[in-house]
Structure 1
Amino acid sequence: MLSYSDSPSGTDPRARDLHRPGVLLLAGAAIAILLSGCAPESTDLTEVGGDYITGTGTITEIPRAERGAPIAFSGELDTGGTASSDDWLGSVVVVNFWYAACPPCRAEAPDLESLNQQFLPDGVVFIGVDVRDQAATAGAFSDTFGITYPSILDAGAGEVQLAFAGQIAPNAVPTTIVLDREGRVASRIIGQIPDRSVLETLIEDVIGEEG
């Protein structure tokens, strides 16, 4: 059984790696895209650019008793209006940091939407955080890949990224974070989701926690 080691700087030292039987961790490196290497914004989703750095993907779970404080965040949505983490307290929340010209973000988009649909009956909330684009580009991405959940537009002040930085430092895109019902970081995947079943299991673990 393969596992991913947790080594990025600035991350929570209490976190432990995920290497539990029944979770398939595929061989090979996931692609981590540093924010400094973002491509120029474009609504043409057939063109991809930027300086991409290949790194080892990291999957981490934080034991319930060792999680940090709830993370509060909010922002304008690509679909119009605003959203706030206060709206989702009591629900499991999956937060995906992405941008349109990021190849791994494009590759994992179908899995994210599939899991969004799967967990709708359980009340799980999926929310994207677009770290690079304006509404038109984000909307074009959603239309191309059939994404039905909204994204917060965080390209300006980066307030959502700052809200998470003290606990999980999402300095690579994509990064996917599962928040528990109290709004605390329960698990994360840095880099492209290596397999749909990995995120599925992380979500199921938090759903199964007793209140």
Structure 2
Amino acid sequence: MRRILTAAGSVLAAAALVVGLAACSEDPLAAQYREGDNKGYIAANGFQTAEIPAENRGEPVDFAGTLDNGDAVSSADYAGRVLVVNFWYATCGPCIIEAPRLEQAYQSFQGQDVAFLGVNTYDQASTAQSFARDHGVSYPSALAVNDAELKLAFADKTPINATPTTLVLDKQGRVAARIVGELPEASILEAIVRTLVAEEA
């Protein structure tokens, strides 16, 4: 019996070591999120997506702000294009996990009338830029932490403090879809965008 217990203990110890090494190899904030610890980000209550019929989309979103590189950005820059707007910040666990999925979707629409814009709700420019480098995000992000007008522009469209949240604006600049929570697959967003690209402006 003692030999059996000793062998079982060795197996458990080896398994624990493997799990420990695997945990060390990934982003700790992403791991924290996967383990269900909500500390460090404002979590949206699960994944939800809603597509809005054209007749119910309301007025275009009129916004202006500053990118993390200091350049100005506004809704006028995206006139006639489908625009994906993702609200995020650097220590948000699900934001980290969905970042490569958003980048995948962004890359899939290169050369088409589609644009992506991040809106960082919490960080300063240096932190936002570091996140983009570390996680391979190549589309731009605007900074909202000290920009009340940028926040106000989207305030009646979505709870922007529930991060991550993604809005998809149609070619007229109206909110056509809303994704609240971590994007599970790039294909979900890609399907929404393709539908809007096919719409007449």
**Does the alignment reach a TM-score above 0.5?**
yes
What secondary structure does 2:109 align onto?
helix
**Residues 172-211 of structure 1 aligned to structure 2 (within 5 Å):** 172-211=162-201
- For residues 93 and 201 of structure 1, what CA distance do their matches in structure 2 show? 14
- Report the AA paired with residue 154 of structure 1: A
- For residues 118 and 41 of structure 2, what CA distance do their matches in structure 1 show? 23
**Displacement after TM superposition at 1:112 (Å):** 0.8
- For residues 58 and 101 of structure 2, what CA distance do their matches in structure 1 show? 28
After superposition, what is the alpha-carbon deviation per residue over 1:109-153, rounded to whole angstroms, capped at 9, x for unaligned? 001111111112112110000000001000100000111111001
Percent identity, aligned pairs only, is 45
Instruction: Return closer, same or farther for 1:202/1:54 CA change in 2, 3 Å cut-off.
Output: closer
The structure that has the greater radius of gyration is 2
Q: Does the 8 A contact of 1:47 with 1:101 survive in 2?
A: no
Normalized per residue, the structure richer in helix is 2
Q: Which residue of 2 aligns with 1:140?
A: 130
Q: Does the 8 A contact of 1:129 with 1:160 survive in 2?
A: no
**Displacement after TM superposition at 1:52 (Å):** 5.1
Q: Say which of 87, 107, 115 aligns to 2:77.
A: 87
Q: Say which of 62, 72, 87 aligns to 2:52.
A: 62
How many residues align structurally?
A: 167
**Displacement after TM superposition at 1:208 (Å):** 1.0
Structure 2 unaligned runs (5+)? 1-26, 30-38
Q: Does the 8 A contact of 2:88 with 2:121 survive in 1?
A: yes
Q: Does the 8 A contact of 1:170 with 1:190 survive in 2?
A: no
Q: Which residue of 2 aligns with 1:101?
A: 91
- For residues 98 and 175 of structure 2, what CA distance do their matches in structure 1 show? 21
Q: Which residue of 2 aligns with 1:153?
A: 143
Q: Does the 8 A contact of 1:68 with 1:167 survive in 2?
A: no
Structure 1 unaligned runs (5+)? 1-45
Between 54-63 and 156-165, report the one with greater CA deviation.
Answer: 156-165
Q: CA RMSD in A?
A: 1.8
Q: Which residue of 2 aligns with 1:5?
A: none
Instruction: Return closer, same or farther for 1:53/1:182 CA change in 2, 3 Å cut-off.
Output: closer
Between 70-79 and 97-106, report the one with greater CA deviation.
Answer: 70-79
**Displacement after TM superposition at 1:53 (Å):** 4.6
After superposition, what is the alpha-carbon deviation per residue over 1:180-211, rounded to whole angstroms, capped at 9, x for unaligned? 01100000100100221111111111111123
- Report the AA paired with residue 76 of structure 1: T
**Displacement after TM superposition at 1:69 (Å):** 0.3
